[in-house]
Amino acid sequence: MRTRLPSKQTLGYVGVLAASLALAIVSGWTAVANQFDDAAYDWMFRLQPPATKAPQSMVLGIDDATLSAMGGPPALRSMLATALERLAPVNPKAVAIDVVLADVEDAKEDQRLERAMQGTRNLVLVSHLAEGRWQKPLPGFERYAAGLGHDTADENSRDGVTRQIPLEERTARERYWALALETFRLTRGQRVIVESPQDLAVGSEIIPAARTDQGNRPLRVLFSAEPIPHVSLKDLVDKPEIAAELAGKVVFVGVTSITGAQDRVRTPNDNGRIPGVEVHAQLFETLARGHFLTDASNLAAVGFSVATGVLAGLIFALLAGWPAYLAGGVLVIAATFAPLLAFRQGIVVPYFSSLFSAWLTCAAAASYQHFVVRRQLRKSEADRKRYQQAIHFVTHEMRTPLTAIQGSSELMGRYNLSEDKRKQIADMINQESKRLARMIQTFLDVERLSDGQMELKREQFGARDVVEACVQRVRPLAERKNIGIRIEELDGALQGDRELMEYVVYNLLTNAVKYSNSGTQITVACRLEASQLRLSVRDQGIGMDAKELRQIFQKFYRTKRAEASGEAGTGIGLSIVQQIVQHHGGKMEVSSEPGKGSCFTVVLPAHSRASQPPTVSV
């Protein structure tokens, strides 16, 4: 488990998740997503075909053979009459004729058809909606119909596949139920279909076909993989004994001829097109089976996506490393299979938005956490380094004054010293402890400067003041090694933090002393050149080669040469020097040659009125 995120990060995290979730949900309404959803629907449909049950219906088809044997399309009504006459003896449960019978044709044939209709139980005829008007069967036919139903058998879908059919079609004044629904009602012995906004009831059967924006109550048809059994009318005429197969069945009569039927329909089963009359039979079987596929409501679909997003967010907020990726992977897999499970339960969930929201939120959560964690790691690594350096600095720089104080105080305690000597030592202790205090202050200032917590002081002071003060402090060290310090011209004024600048000069001077042999000379100068102030410390010491020169400002770097001399410290001083100079808007220049000496130059922007004491500066 990780520590809790600070609130700004939590907000950012929630924001990123919410944005990706919104993107996933909104993109679920695009055309691409709809295509994806349709393809996924067809795939699931084929994966889990409706339970096979012996069909209650059959198709009596007027196929190509029938048409050519019985007189072609003009003889359609005589064919229908023949069909009904042949069916009458076997007494089907219901007969639905999927042919528009709105126009007056041959009176004699029509009369024959009327007579055949008269002898047919539960006859359902077509009411066809064309250009906003209902084309109903001729009154002579309608008289014998127990029901009228609309004949829409295909869906105006993007890819031309019919997945659902409207159970209701209406004009402003008249409304008809689907041919198959009317047939179903009659087979259930019901007089009416009871409707509510959410569903339809035929007796005790509830059909979950909610009223939609178009008001046409679409219902997904559970097309069986096996076609509905077909009988060709020609075969029935040729072999009357076939009629027995149709006994007690619900018979859908219609044109199945490939050339004659215009309404051939593609289904999710992807096994070619089927004639419209079979679609009616398939819808009838769907109703008869009583198992339905309903679309998840928009609210449920969005709820599912949001739940996935929240889970993804929690996973990557509470877990880290591989357990988080593992749990995220499980979530994505679960989101992939959830629509399939829902489909098994008869609920169609929009696949694209569920899947996309799982993927997108997981990816967003994972990358957010990845980068935030990386940033935090980098920061804590930097903090750790700084802390380490601070410790090095303290031990390195403070050892000298501490040793002096320690030694002197021991001296005072152990020996009986003269008053003069005692005073001298007490002064020394006082000075060294002041130096220690200054050092601590310098150290803290540089720390805070580089941390951005502190602003640089902006005092103005002469270069001479600083250099002379430092030389005075270094001189005893130099004298001990018999090294001379020569001060050349000291022009110019500096602007900035005097304490820190003193640190710079003192450090360069002590280095010059440390890395020089006895009998050599150190030269200090400060010159104004163009708009630059150049403060240089030159020695005749051990020097450095070009490769070493490139690295001396790195923390902890020490040259081999310096280590061999036994003088090298921790390699921090110059890095602080460089930081201070940079904070003052300047830079360091170094030239050096092994065995010949080095020259360190602090280059700063020049400030006017050289050498004037700060009190009179403006």
* Contact positions vs ligand ADP (CB under 6 A): 511-512, 515, 539, 541-544, 552, 557-559, 562, 568-575, 598
Q: What is the DSSP letter of 6?
A: P
Residue (243 or 590) nearer to ligand ADP, CB: 590
CA 163 centroid distance within chain:
32
Residue nearest to ligand ADP (CB): 569
* Three-class secondary structure of residue 345 per DSSP: coil
Residue (140 or 569) nearer to ligand ADP, CB: 569
Q: Whole-angstrom Cα distance, residue 329 to residue 337? A: 12
Smallest CA-to-CA distance from 220 within 372, 50, 357 is with 50
Closest separation in Å from C-beta 405 to ligand ADP? 21
Residue (251 or 512) nearer to ligand ADP, CB: 512
Closest separation in Å from C-beta 540 to ligand ADP? 10
Closest separation in Å from C-beta 520 to ligand ADP? 11
Residue (150 or 534) nearer to ligand ADP, CB: 534
Report yes or no: 41 and 214 within 8 Å, Cβ to Cβ.
Answer: no
Kindly report the backbone phi and psi dihedral angles of residue 368, in degrees, each rounded to the nearest multiple of 5, phi listed first.
-60, -50
Residue (78 or 511) nearer to ligand ADP, CB: 511
How wide is the angle at C-alpha 264 spanned by C-alphas 259 and 265, nearest 5°? 165
CA distances from 166 to 7, 176, 197, 343, 418 (A): 52, 10, 14, 21, 118
Tokens 């880290």 locate to 320
Report yes or no: 33 and 27 within 8 Å, Cβ to Cβ.
Answer: yes
Closest separation in Å from C-beta 545 to ligand ADP? 10
Residue (260 or 569) nearer to ligand ADP, CB: 569
Residue (249 or 534) nearer to ligand ADP, CB: 534
Closest separation in Å from C-beta 544 to ligand ADP? 5
Q: Whole-angstrom Cα distance, residue 122 to residue 426? A: 126
Closest separation in Å from C-beta 555 to ligand ADP? 8
How wide is the angle at C-alpha 576 spanned by C-alphas 571 and 582, nearest 5°? 135
Residue (9 or 579) nearer to ligand ADP, CB: 579
Closest separation in Å from C-beta 501 to ligand ADP? 16
User: Regarding beta strands 230-232 and 57-62, do their DSSP bridges make them parallel or antiparallel, or are they unpaired?
Assistant: parallel
Residues 6+ apart with CB under 8 A from 556: 389, 392, 570, 571, 572
How wide is the angle at C-alpha 315 spanned by C-alphas 309 and 321, nearest 5°? 135
Closest separation in Å from C-beta 447 to ligand ADP? 17
